[in-house]
Amino acid sequence: MKIGVFICHCGENIGRTVDCARVSKAAGFFPNVVHSVDYKYMCSDPGQNIIKQAIKDLQLDGVVVGSCSPHMHEKTFRKAVADAGVNPFLCEIANLREHVSWVHDDMDVATDKAIDLVRFAVEKVKRNAPLKTIQVPVTKRTLVIGGGISGIQAALDVANAGYEVVLVEKEPSIGGHMSQLSETFPTLDCSQCILTPRMVEVYQHPKIKLLTYSEVEKVEGFIGNFKVTIRKKARKVDDTKCTGCGDCMQKCPIKKKALSEFDENLTTRSAIYVPFPQAVPNIPVIDTEVCTYFKNGKCSMCKKVCGRDAIFFEQEDQMLTEEIGAIIVATGYKLYTIDKKPKNSEIKGYGEYGYGKYKDVIDGLQFERIASASGPTSGEFKRPSDGKEPKKIVFIQCVGSRDESKGFSYCSKICCMYTAKHAMLYKHKVHDGEAYVFYMDIRSGGKMYDEFVRRAIEEDGVKYIRGRVSRIYEENGKYIVKGEDTLAGVPVEIDADMVVLATAMIAQPEASKLAQTIGIPYDKYGYFVEVHPKLRPVESSSGGIFLAGACHSPRDIPDSVAMASAAAAKAMVLFGSDMLEREPTIALVNENLCAGCFYCKKVCAYNAIEVKQIFDRQGNFVKEVAYVNSGLCQGCGTCNATCPSKSIELIGYTDEQIYAEIAALM
Amino acid sequence: MDDIKTVAKELLTSGKVNAVIGYIRYGNDKRTKPFIAQKPEDVDKFVINNFILNNLAVYLTRKEVSKLGKVAVIAKGCDAKAITALIQENQIKKEDIHVIGINCNGVTKDFDIDFNSENIAGKCLNCDVRTPKLCDSLVGALADIPSGEDLKLKMIRGVEAKNAEERWDYFEDEFNKCIKCYACRQACPLCYCEQCIVDKSIPRWIESSATKRGNFSWNLIRAFHLAGRCIGCNECERACPMDIPLSLLNRKMAMIAKDEFNYDAGTDMNAPTLVGSYDLKDNEDFIE
């Protein structure tokens, strides 16, 4: 074998800490290495040409590139090698950046380590075999999880490109948080007015299959070939018969017991309900927790009044399976609104603000409902406790955000803007009212965003106070807000009629569970994680699973919509070809040695191990052994590590190759 | 309670099984050996006493036995745990075997010695399966058994008290005695691999000669391969001609499995195995 070694400086990234010339010189003396050079940017066009030219001139049949991580540029170099006529799997990467230059200071030591890693890769490449990629077909259907604005946008984009979409929403209606909002910054256009037409478009789209009140139960398979199990929860209403006339809701005797989720618990709803009048689909569900029929069987008023005989008390959850090629996760966020410290949580909470104790201390979404024309007060400013118009409102920003000691260390990003909007909306309707905002910093980066905040301050006279609030308590019907003006250096006390807390955006409480179900990583807050923060911001590290909206990080509507369209584009890129190329580095069972304990099957995260029966020539059953489904295997090697007798190997990473690598380091 | 001979004979004459694996007297009366009875008259030689040391479950995965078809096997409580574990790990099917459980009154540490409070096997002292959990028939009657001191537990506590370096030295000394005869592996009912990792030659992960390095890696890897699987029959230690206290490792691992994951190997054939399953509630604080 004739091996060429190519050492990249990665600009200064490697070159600053590693003496690349010395590495290349040392590698030249390794057995089988016939050529060894270093170059400033090996991934660049001229850099790749150095490799290609050397392959041609010296008839190299093995290549080692000492560069950044294989994650970054293995594909690039393998392609270059393939272009020059050598099997791409005869190219190996020695990671001299993440494993050496970025983690060491001492040049001599780093260079020695780099030489070792190159030797290690040379030993591997000597034992590499030419491999062929596996071709698998692509199912050109997309699953969108979450029917908020992000999910709606992604679904519409993919569907409008002509591909089928399955949109799964766990609530009875699509629309998400955006449907709860009054007006949207920075233009103050009505949220419902811009959203509801898109909801209807989703409902009527011939390419979109809408599954509301449904949840993703299980995801099997891999990019281009997912098999998704969806639980369609029992509405107790037959959606094929219901016309959405609403008679059942009007006649339902339970009116007061259930709090309206859509109105953020400010109003009540019936036991059979649609979350809001513009719900899509306009088909009610029965809340079996409060419904009298489900408690003691004594009421069936809805069934009696339904002209279509659509009430179906015996209905049970249905399991549907869908063949899917790409998944877009758009499960959104929740507002952090705890009044006291939850059990077993590191979050300390803000008991001193009296949320949950004082009716007029509300959060941002509750304020949205009060300000909304479709809300409990029809858009008139009336406070929850006594319905009186508040003459003085205090808004507190960063409740939970940017607070490592009591909340979360991140910035929720949207609160500066929506608080300015809240104060503005209030001042527009209550001209003699006073609005105070306690803030830490104003973060209003974005098109027309800072202008918007300036307008609130300068034109609408909202009073901004830089400082934190220490305590809120009730005194003579007023809420005394005690805080500090850190610019003036004086304590402040405001007797407010109402207080609005801009509480942090947090991940959905079940986000981590969903992440485990579909197999994508999440951070310590429960937000889903992208592959690369800059270059691949909408892709999860699991192939074919993309992220959109606030399930990834706090973001506003324009950002969410942009991300959703980006995720849709990524799904469509996948659908651009009929066959997908998969790496041939998958597991292979030695059927002679396999004892059939199936520990490999137990640990396989991809359900890629099957049971195969072995028969002798006479057709007598001999034994059961493990069998690898090459379509499902991702080549993670867990089976390989688990097998007690080492009867299952990873092609391209065989024990022999790994052993040679280790030996090269010792 | 039925007599072993009656039960075994009935199973063979009725054709329910093709063979019964049991114990017969061998040499003096303080010694037995395993015996595979294929004819009803063979079972007349069967004995049950305090010297039935072998764990007969080890034969169930042997090709010579599995080709006999359905077999019955005599099992003490600990042996039945091994059978449970083998079913759990897909090595045998419950319907292919008939377990004749025995109400066990303890066994000796080794052959040729009297059964008394000094010689009772350590595993019998705190036994919670004197009546096997898994059995299709049950023979014998429970009687009082001698009590004694759990010397092995004392040794485990002694090793625990050592620091890492002392522990290393201790095991290095013990493993140095190893002659690589693999009797431990042969006696172990859960060492059923077609080819043991120690016999793998490309690459050779474990040096097969009886050197310090080879001995260390063999004994440690065998212990690791039994983590969460060892049912504590202690046959490996009894089989060891060099008296290496193998149970120190195996039993300590079983104690960890119990403490950290509340897992008892060989108690439930339908339970997910400890290795190869996980639960979000699994204790993780030992990961550093």
Does B17 score more than 80 pLDDT? yes
**Which residue, of A111, A133, A155, is where some domain finishes?**
A133
Nearest-angstrom CA–CA distance, A338 and B159 = 50
Does A342 score more than 90 pLDDT? no
pLDDT tens per residue across span A218-265: 998 888 999 999 999 999 999 999 999 999 999 999 887 889 999 999
Residues 6+ positions from B288 with CB-CB distance below 8 Å:
none
| Interface contact flag, A597 B203, Cβ < 8 Å | no
Q: What is the pLDDT of residue A373?
A: 92
SS3 content of chain B, % helix, strand, coil (to 5): 40, 10, 50
Nearest-angstrom CA–CA distance, A157 and A548 = 13
| Interface contact flag, A645 B273, Cβ < 8 Å | no
E strand residue ranges, A325-384: 326-329, 333-335, 361-363
Write down the pTM of the prediction.
0.72
Instruction: List chain A residues with CB under 8 Å of B62.
Output: none
Banded pLDDT at A337 (limits 50, 70, 90):
confident
Nearest-angstrom CA–CA distance, A500 and A660 = 65
Comparing alpha-carbon positions, the chain A residue that sits nearest to B225 is A644
Residues A397 and A455 in one domain: yes
Does B1 score more than 60 pLDDT? no
Residues A478 and A563 in one domain: no
Residues A495 and A517 in one domain: no
Domain count, chain A: 5
Residue A474 within a domain: yes
Nearest-angstrom CA–CA distance, A506 and A552 = 10
Does B212 score more than 70 pLDDT? yes
Residue A238 within a domain: no
Does B287 score more than 80 pLDDT? no
**Which residue, of A575, A604, A625, is where some domain finishes?**
A575
Q: Which of B111, B15, B99 is nearest to B60 (CA)?
A: B99
> What length does chain A have?
666
The strand pairing partners of A142, in sequence order, are A165, A326
Across the range A425-442, mean pLDDT stands at 96
Residues A456 and A363 in one domain: yes
Residues A423 and A354 in one domain: yes
Nearest neighbour of A624 by CB, restricted to B90, B273, B280: B90
| Interface contact flag, B91 A597, Cβ < 8 Å | yes
A640 in contact with chain B, both atoms CB, cutoff 8 A: no
Q: Which of A127, A597, A656 to mutate to test the interface with B (most CBs of B within 10 A)?
A: A597
Residue A175 C-alpha, separation from nearest chain B C-alpha, in angstroms: 32
Residues A13 and A118 in one domain: yes
Does A406 score more than 90 pLDDT? no
pLDDT tens per residue across span A361-399: 999 999 999 999 999 999 999 999 999 999 999 999 999
What CATH code is carried by the domain that includes residue A98? 3.40.50
Across the range B68-84, mean pLDDT stands at 96
Q: What is the pLDDT of residue A339?
A: 64
> Distances from the Cα of A67 to the Cαs of A46, A73, A103, in angstroms?
15, 8, 14
Residue A33 within a domain: yes
| Interface contact flag, B194 A644, Cβ < 8 Å | no
Strand A478-485's sheet: what is its strand order?
A469-475, A478-485, A490-496
pLDDT tens per residue across span A66-92: 999 998 999 999 999 999 999 999 999
Residue A355 within a domain: yes
Contact B53, B30 (CB under 8 A): no
Comparing alpha-carbon positions, the chain A residue that sits nearest to B62 is A595
Residue A129 within a domain: yes
* Mean pLDDT (chain A, rounded): 94
Contact B241, B210 (CB under 8 A): no
Across A146-155, A398-407, B143-152, the highest mean pLDDT is recorded for A146-155
Across the range A530-542, mean pLDDT stands at 93
Q: Can you tell me the ipTM of this complex? A: 0.92
Banded pLDDT at A340 (limits 50, 70, 90):
low
Q: Which two tokens stand for residue B130?
A: 């004197």
Half-sphere exposure of B169 (CA within 13 A, CB side): 5
- Coil, helix or strand for B132? coil
Give the H/E segment covering residue B174: helix B164-176
Residue A443 within a domain: yes
Q: What is the pLDDT of residue B264?
A: 94
Residues A465 and A565 in one domain: no
Comparing alpha-carbon positions, the chain B residue that sits nearest to A657 is B203
Residues A445 and A571 in one domain: no
Contact A346, A408 (CB under 8 A): no
| Interface contact flag, A599 B275, Cβ < 8 Å | yes
Q: What is the pLDDT of residue A396?
A: 97
Q: Which of A221, A238, A247 is nearest to A322 (CA)?
A: A221
- Coil, helix or strand for A558? helix
Q: What is the pLDDT of residue B283?
A: 79
Residue A312 within a domain: no
Instruction: List chain B residues with CB under 8 Å of A595.
Output: 91, 192-194
Residues A345 and A327 in one domain: no
Across the range B117-143, mean pLDDT stands at 93
Across the range A60-68, mean pLDDT stands at 97
- Residues in B whose CB is inside 8 Å of some CB of A read 89-91, 192-197, 200, 202-203, 205, 225, 272-273, 275-277, 280
Domain that holds residue A280: 247-305
Give the H/E segment covering residue B250: helix B247-261
Bin A490: left if φ > 0, else alpha if -120 < ψ < 50, else beta: beta
Across the range B9-36, mean pLDDT stands at 95
Residues A96 and A193 in one domain: no
Comparing alpha-carbon positions, the chain A residue that sits nearest to B272 is A602
Q: What is the pLDDT of residue B6?
A: 93
Does B2 score more than 70 pLDDT? no
What CATH code is carried by the domain that includes residue A216? 3.50.50.60
| Interface contact flag, A659 B205, Cβ < 8 Å | yes
A577 in contact with chain B, both atoms CB, cutoff 8 A: no
**Which residue, of A575, A598, A626, is where some domain finishes?**
A575
Does B104 score more than 70 pLDDT? yes
Q: What is the pLDDT of residue A49?
A: 97
Does B129 score more than 80 pLDDT? yes
Residue A38 C-alpha, separation from nearest chain B C-alpha, in angstroms: 33
A599 in contact with chain B, both atoms CB, cutoff 8 A: yes
Residues A490 and A517 in one domain: no
Residues A151 and A26 in one domain: no
Q: Which of B195, B222, B274 to mutate to test the interface with A (most CBs of A within 10 A)?
A: B195
Q: Which of A194, A150, A18 is nearest to A555 (CA)?
A: A150
Residues 6+ positions from A459 with CB-CB distance below 8 Å:
none
A598 in contact with chain B, both atoms CB, cutoff 8 A: yes
Residue A314 within a domain: no
Query: CA dihedral in degrees (B62, B67, B72, B76; nearest 10)?
Result: 0
Across the range B104-121, mean pLDDT stands at 93
Instruction: List chain A residues with CB under 8 Å of B277.
Output: 602
- Matching residue, tokens 């992960």: B205
A653 in contact with chain B, both atoms CB, cutoff 8 A: no
